[in-house]
A and B are shown apart, each in its own frame.
Chain A
């Protein structure tokens, strides 16, 4: 355990120490209204812990997680479709990827008009953000198979279903997990920023309302809590990856991760 968690914790302690000591502030000539000190942030977290954690676990976290799952599933489904129909690979894949270029400031208000102020509209925003990385990565994994492997399958009279489940799907999994990992951060920041516009509660609401009235410690407390949730999501996906594809060289090589 210490071997795995030791280094990041050591770095964390060092960073926090430097930060509280004012190293970053001195180095970059920052003031506390641009970047609050760790003690201020921790104080704010403690003061508002019930609200912050409730927002994280009941509102923003679930928005991110649900959006991640929804966007991931949709993305994977489209990837399967595109991999089956070559014409779509050339025609539809770039369009699916281009959804990644639509900014939240455009999507969020429209989502609110359709789905209201609550969580559904934020989940929709997150799903859109996560969709493109998943499509691109999953497609690559499903499609980019060595011809020899395909020939081997056909020579063994494998059915298309076998080819999919025994060859394409496993080959795609490392790519899928890469997309999910990238997706966790997109999902958190997406949920956070979606809550800036037309929302009722959540970490994003706390963040944006406080940052514009100079209440930096509370705003950064919301960021820290969001980061913790994001790390937890990322960690969850990593654990899932180890459970699902323990055979993949990138997972094996690390040994006891």
Chain B
């Protein structure tokens, strides 16, 4: 097989699209701002310094902030710790939650794929498990696992395992029956069938799940942070919201950072997909 040079995804298209989104956002936000806030209050509505600005006009920044202000908040060195450092802290938790959640999700799917009986018995519980919010789950997990860090990793994994299970299960079941028949006729062992047929067929589905799990693990990390962490992007989001609309630019900055975390993680998994499944059509172009 001739070696094909893999075209790695370059960041340029994302930056261009992001730029286009920013331009559209700036237009929409400026129109909205000017429509909602009368001229004499415009500076005051942004800076929060003018006490005469009516509150309805101040809330405009919370609803659709001006991107230039959000960008200013993002590059402001004073905010670096709460936005970027916090982002890194959250990313670290997200990676751990992703790894554990991914493994659990994958293992569960393999288990359920063994027999339809297992699938029918266990799948409803996997579904139900996703319906229990963290506020109810937290005290139970903390009570069982006294170690705070273990409890946090498990809660984060809890949020990420389900998409991996559903997609892996789908993939394992999507095996081409003709290929399966061929392998059995060649007296392939169960393990061979798994490694040479089922897993490769499942991989595209699994990678979609991993991409989603990557982005979801950021949420998992944030949810866990909101249970008493001192730092992190979730903590930033909570605290900037709490004190009023004057912090709108920073709050939206934190939202942007959370998205960037998800985006970066997504890309990492996408690159891994390219390496692991280079036989897929779109990577062969």
Q: A interface vs B, CB < 8 Å?
A: 4-5, 7-8, 10-12, 15, 28-30, 34-35, 87-88, 90-92, 94-95, 97-103, 105-106, 109-110, 113-114, 132-133, 136-137, 140, 143-147, 174-175, 178, 181-182, 184-186, 188-189, 192-193, 196, 207-208, 211, 219-220, 223, 226-227, 230-231, 234, 248-250, 253-254
Contact = CB atoms under 8 A, between A and B. Distances in A.
Nearest to A229: B131
Contact of A106 (B59, B125, B254): B254
Given A95-B263, A227-B131, A182 B166 contact: yes
Give the interface SS of chain B, mostly helix, strand, loop or mixed: helix
B258 interface: yes
B135 interface: yes
A153 to B, nearest CB: 14
Interface stretch (B47-55, B66-74, B173-181): B173-181
B63 interface: yes
A156 to B, nearest CB: 19
A105 B121 contact: no
Contacts of A248: 174
A101 B162 contact: no
Given A105-B234, A105-B238, 20 more contacts: A5-B120, A11-B122, A11-B125, A90-B10, A91-B14, A94-B263, A95-B21, A101-B218, A133-B212, A144-B204, A144-B280, A147-B281, A174-B170, A175-B205, A178-B167, A182-B162, A192-B131, A220-B136, A230-B131, A234-B127
B226 A101 contact: no
A91 B16 contact: yes
A4 B116 CA distance: 9
B131 A97 contact: no
Contacts of A253: 173, 177
B163 A133 contact: yes
Contacts, number: 204
A227 B174 contact: no
The 4 closest A-B pairs by CB, nearest first: A101-B262, A91-B13, A91-B17, A100-B215
Interface string B154-192: 000000001100110010011111000000000000000
Given A11-B121, A178-B167, A223-B132, A100 B282 contact: no
Task: Bin chain B's interface residue count.
Answer: 35 or more
B165 to A, nearest CB: 9
B14 A110 contact: no
A152 to B, nearest CB: 14
B120 A8 contact: yes
B45 to A, nearest CB: 15
Contacts of B263: 94-95, 97-98, 101
B259 interface: yes
B216 A100 contact: yes
B174 A185 contact: no
B268 to A, nearest CB: 11
Contact of B133 (A95, A114, A192): A192
